Structure 1
Amino acid sequence: MSHTYINGRLFETNDAAVSAHDHGLVTGDGVFETLAVYDGTPFAVRRHLQRLARSVAGIRLAPPDLDEIERAIFEVVAKDEISFGKVRVTYTAGNGPLGSDRDKDASPLLVVAASPLAPLSRTARVSIAPWPRNERGVLSGLKTTSYAENVVALDWALSQGSNEVIFANTKGDLCEGSGSNIFLVVDGQLITPTLESGCLAGVTRDLIIEYLGAKEMDVPISTLVSSRTSEAFLASTLRDAQSITHVDETPLHNAIGPVSLRIAKELKELIMDNLNP
C-alpha cells in the first residue's frame, strides 16, 4: 500500500485527492523536484530543496517550509519501505480561479509521493527536437509543473524510436533533454551547456561539474554529431550518466567510451560515500 503526503497529512494513495480548482492542475502553476532513493535513503535532499526554493521564487509563489518538505520526504519513503526508487515533491499555488490569475489569499499545496523503480538502461538513443528551447522565457531554468512542452517533445521522440529528446535553444546551441542534462567529450574535454543556454541546473549536472571535472561551454547543437565529439551522455537524478548510442539515425562510434564509464563509476562512488553532498 503506497502513501501520499498532502499539506501535513499522510493518506493512503487511493484516498489522496486535491481540488479540481488547484492552480497547478488548472494552469500548471507550480514547481516540483524528483529525488532518487538508494537503500531507503533519499539522495541529495539539501540540493533538491535549494533548487525547489529557487524555482518557487522564480514563479513568484510564497516560500515553502523546507523543513516540512524534508520531513515529508523521509516519512513517505519510510512508510512505503522504498529501497530503490524516486520521490516526487510538488508545490503549487493552491486553489485559484479557472484561469491564469491567482487567488492571492490561497494557501499553497504540497504533495509528496514515492514509488519503487527498476534500474534504467545504461544507454539511450536520442532525437533532436524540431522545436527550440527558449532560453529567454520566463520559466527558463526553472523546474515547473508546466511540462507540456517536454511531454509533447518526448512523445514525438519515442515515436522515432528514441528514449530521450534533445533541445537546441533559439540560438541553435545545445541545451538539454526533456528530463536530463547532456555532456559531450569534445577534443578530449568533458563539457556541458552553460545555464545561459536555458538548461536546468540539474543536481547530477552540478555534481559532475563540482566533483568530477566538467567545463560549462556553449556549442552549436551540430557538435553532438561532429567528428570532434568522441562521446556523449545524459545525466539526471534517475539516469546518473547514461551513454548516448545514436543521435536520430547517426550512431556514435565511441558510444560507451572511457570518459562516460569513468563518470558513471565515480558518480556511483560519490553516491555511496555521501548521500547528501
Structure 2
Amino acid sequence: MDDIVVWVDGRLRDPAEPAISAVDHGITVGDGVFETCQAVDGQAFALSRHLRRLTRSARGLGLDDPDLDEVRAGIAAVLDGRPDLGRIRITVTAGVGPLGSTRSGGRQTVVVVAGAAGAPRPVRSVRVPWVRNERSPLTGLKTTSYAENVVAVAAATKVGADESWLANTRGELCEGTGSNVFVEVGGELLTPPLSSGCLAGITRELVLEWSAQAGLPVREQTLPWSVLDTVTAGDAGLALCGSIRTFVPVVELDGVALEPFPLTLEVAELYRRRAADDIDP
C-alpha cells in the first residue's frame, strides 16, 4: 500500500492500522461529511473552495464547523514529500456516539488520506432507474451516507461503464454518482441547476465561472430526463466533471458510442489551461 498515506486525528498511521472507534458515528450511521480533491505536485487543488464546502456540508448536517487548521495540517502531512499522489480524501465525522441516530456531542473524528489517481480520460456511462430526491435533507451536502451512489456505480461497472446518470423525482436530469453532467445542445453547454438536487460541484463551479469569463455559452438550465435520448440519437453531446476526472467528454451512453461536441472540447481545454495557472482558484 505504498500509494496510500493515512493521517487520523493528529498523526500519520499505517494504512493497515486500526485507527477509528467501532462506535464512531461515521461508521455506525454514516454521520459525517467529506471532500475529495485533486493533488498536483504535492499541493491540494482548489483547497479553499473544498474547505468552504466541507463547512457548508457540516452545518447542513447539524455538525459543528470542522477545525480547518487541523484539516490543513493533515493534508500537509499526507502530501509531504509525495508529489506522486493525485487524490486527497478529507473525512470529518460526528465522532464516537451511541448506536442509534442521536449524537453524543463529543470530539469530531478527522481523517485525511492521500492516494494515487489516474490521468483524466473520457467516460462511458449508463442510465439507472433510481432517482435523487431533491427535497431530501441531505440534498446538496457531501455526506458519508453514500450507499445510493455505491449501488448506482456498481450498476455501471457491471456493464463495463464508468458512471451512472440519475434523474430527480420530477423527471429531470440531475447528476452522476460522483460527477456533474453537461449536455451540449443548440450550440450551448448546459448543466442542471442546483435546484435539481445535484451537488454543487467544485469543478462545475469553476467550469461555469471560467466559461463565463471566456465568453463561452455555458450555463445552468433545467433539462428533462429525455434529453439523454437526444444524446444517443447524436443530436446532443455529453460531458461530465468532477474533482479527479476534471472536465471530460462522455464517449458512450447505454452502449451507444458518442462523439465529443466542439464546445465540450473547447471547455475541456479551457479548464486544463486555467487549472494549470492557479493551484487555489
TM (normalized to structure 2)?
A: 0.92
Separation in 2 of the partners of 1:167 and 1:160? 16
- Within 2, Cα distance between the matches of 1:229 and 1:202? 26
Distance in 2 (CA, whole Å) between partners of 1:187 and 1:225 is 15
Mean CA deviation greater in 135-144 or 217-226 = 217-226
Structure 1: 5+ residue stretches without partners: none
Q: 1:245 aligns to what?
A: 251
Q: Which range moved further: 228-237 or 136-145?
A: 228-237
Distance 2:76 2:198 in 1: 29
Q: 2:220 corresponds to which residue?
A: 216
Cα deviation, residue 14, structure 1: 2.7
Q: 1:78 aligns with which of 58, 77, 80?
A: 80
Percent identity over the alignment?
43
SS in 1 for 2:226: helix
Deviation, structure 1 residue 216: 0.7
What is the match of residue 133 of structure 1? 132
**Paired residues of 1:157 and 1:165 also in contact (CA < 8 A):** yes
The match for 2:16 is 14
**Mapping of 1:165-180 within 5 angstroms?**
165-180=164-179
SS at 1:31 equivalent = strand
**Higher mean displacement: 178-187 or 15-24:** 15-24
Question: Match of 1:108?
Answer: 108
Instruction: For 1:229 and 1:205, locate their aligned partners in 2 and report how far apart those are by CA, in whole Å.
Output: 23
Q: Return the alpha-carbon distance in structure 2 between the equivalents of residues 189 and 13 of structure 1.
A: 45
Counterpart for residue 57 of structure 2? 55
Tell me which moved more, 95-104 or 145-154. 95-104
1:39 is aligned to 2:45: no
Does residue 119 (structure 1) correspond to residue 119 (structure 2)? The answer is yes
What's the TM-score once normalised by structure 1's chain length?
0.94
1:275 is aligned to 279
What is the DSSP-based 3-state SS (H/G/I as helix, E as strand, rest coil) of the residue aligned with 2:71?
Answer: helix
Root-mean-square deviation (Å):
1.5
Listed as ranges, the gaps of 5+ residues in structure 2 are: 213-217
> Is the Cα contact below 8 Å between 1:36 and 1:86 reproduced in 2?
yes
Is 2:210–2:271's contact at 8 Å kept on the other side of the alignment?
no
Q: Tell me how far apart the structure 2 counterparts of residues 266 and 78 of structure 1 sit (CA, whole Å).
A: 30
